[in-house]
Amino acid sequence: MNNKKLKSAARLFVALLFLSPVIFPQGKEIPKNIILMIGDGMGLNLITSSAIINEDCPFKKFRSIGLAVTCSADKLITDSAAGATAISTGHRTNNKLVGVDPEKKNLQNIFELAESKGLATGVVVTSSVTNATPAGFISHVNDRYKEFDIAAQLTECGIDVAIGGGQKYFLPKPDGERPDSINLINKLKDSGYAVTFSFDQLKNQDDTKIVALLEKDGLKPAKERNYSLSELVNIALINLSKEENGFVLMIEGSQIDWFAGAKELNGTVNEMNDFEGAVKTAMDFTVQDKNTLLIVTADHETGGISITGGDVKVPSPKMEFLTGSHTANAVGVFAYGPGEDLFRGFYNNSETGQKLLSLINHRTENLSH
C-alpha cells in the first residue's frame, strides 16, 4: 500500500473512531446514581506512580478502563472549559467556551437532563464553584472567566449541593467583588438553600439544599486545609442519597492542575493524594450501594509528567515535568458499577459525556415503564 492510501486509511480510521455514535447495549444494568470524578490535569503517569507506591491505590480496584483523547474543537490542546463541556454535554467545543457549542449556542448538560428527570445534582470541587470545570455542569457562557455570570447562573440552575470556594463571586463589595452590587447569597437563601462559609458549619448541616462557599476564591491547598476532599464528598453523598430517584454528583480535584502547571511536584502529589482519598470514599459508597456508577477521569493532562527513574525496592519513582502547560496526552477513564462496560475502549472525551447522557435517559425511561 502506498503512502497516499495509508494516509487515507488513517484519516478514515480517525473519523470512524470519533464520529461513531454511542450504541447502548440491550439488557445492561442501569445505575440509579452516577458519581463523576475529574482529576483536573491528572495524567496516566500520576496514576501509575501512585500504583507503584501504594498497594491500596484505589485505581487498582476498577474493572473497566478506557482512554480518552482530550482535543477541543479548535485546539489540539484543550483548556478546562472545553474539556468540561465535552464531558458534561457530549459535544466538543472551542477553548474558553463553557456549556455552548463553537457557534455559542447552549448545549444541554447532564445536570439539566438529570434534573428534568427528577434526579438530584451536586458538585464538590477544590476550586471556586464558578471555575471552568464546575461551570461546565451549571452554566452556559462564552468566556470561562465570566465567573460573576456563572455564579448568577448557579443560583438558578436547580443544583441541590454545591461545595467549594468562590464567596467573592456571590457577594458585592466590601465582602465580595461583584460589580453589579447584587447579593447572590440572599438570593440563594430566598430560594431555600442553606448557605455556609465554613467546614464546621457544613459538617453540621442537614438541609437538603446546600451551597458551601468555604473560601473567597479557590480552597486552600490540601496540606493547608483542616479538612479533606474526601470529607466534603462524604457530606455530599449523605445529602444526595436522600433523593429517592437518585443523583448525579460531579467531584473535581481542581488543584492537581494548578501545581502541575507550576511544576511543583510535592504540591502535585499532595493534591493527587487528596483526590485519591475522595476516590476511595466514592468507591466505598459505590461498592456498598450496588446501584451507583463511579467514573473517574481527567479533563486533560498537565505537565507532561514522566517517570524517569527511582528505586523499585522502596519503591520511589522519580517524576519530572516536560512542560508547565496542558498537553494533548490521552487520559484514563475508570469505571465501576452498573453500566461500567460502556466506558471501555479508546474514544474522544465527548463520548464520555454521550455515554453518561445515554445512561441517564435509559434509567429514567425504565422508571416510567
Q: Indicate if the pLDDT at residue 214 is higher than 80.
A: yes
CA pair distance 22, 358, nearest whole angstrom = 8
CA pair distance 67, 278, nearest whole angstrom = 21
Q: What is the mean pLDDT of residues 153-160?
A: 97
Q: pLDDT tens digits, residue range 99-112?
A: 999 999 999 999 99
Of 9-13, 245-249, 262-266, 331-335, which range is least confident?
A: 9-13
Among candidate residues 49, 50, 72, 80, the one labeled active-site is 80
Q: pLDDT tens digits, residue range 39-54?
A: 999 999 999 999 999 9
**Pick among 3.30.470.30, 3.40.50.410, 3.40.720.10, 3.30.420.40: CATH of 50-311+322-330+337-367:** 3.40.720.10
Of 26-35, 125-134, 235-244, 318-327, which range is least confident?
A: 26-35
The predicted pLDDT at position 17 comes to: 46
The predicted pLDDT at position 18 comes to: 45
Q: Is the peptide bond before 174 cis (omega within 30 degrees of 0)?
A: yes
Q: pLDDT tens digits, residue range 194-207?
A: 999 999 999 998 88
CA pair distance 115, 360, nearest whole angstrom = 10
Please give the full DSSP string across 201-248, using - where no structure is assigned: HHHT---SSEEEE-SSSSPPPGGG-SS-HHHHHHHHHHHHTT-TT-EE
310, β-bridge pairs: 317
Query: How big is the CA angle at 200 (ends 199 and 203), to the nearest 5 degrees?
Result: 80
Q: What is the mean pLDDT of residues 323-330?
A: 98
Domain ranges for the chain, please list them. Answer: 50-311+322-330+337-367
CA trace torsion 62, 274, 332, 26 (10° rounding): 50
Mean per-residue pLDDT over the chain, rounded: 93
**Residue 80: active-site member:** yes
Non-local (6+) Cβ contacts of 137 within 8 A are 84, 88, 109, 110, 111, 121, 123, 250
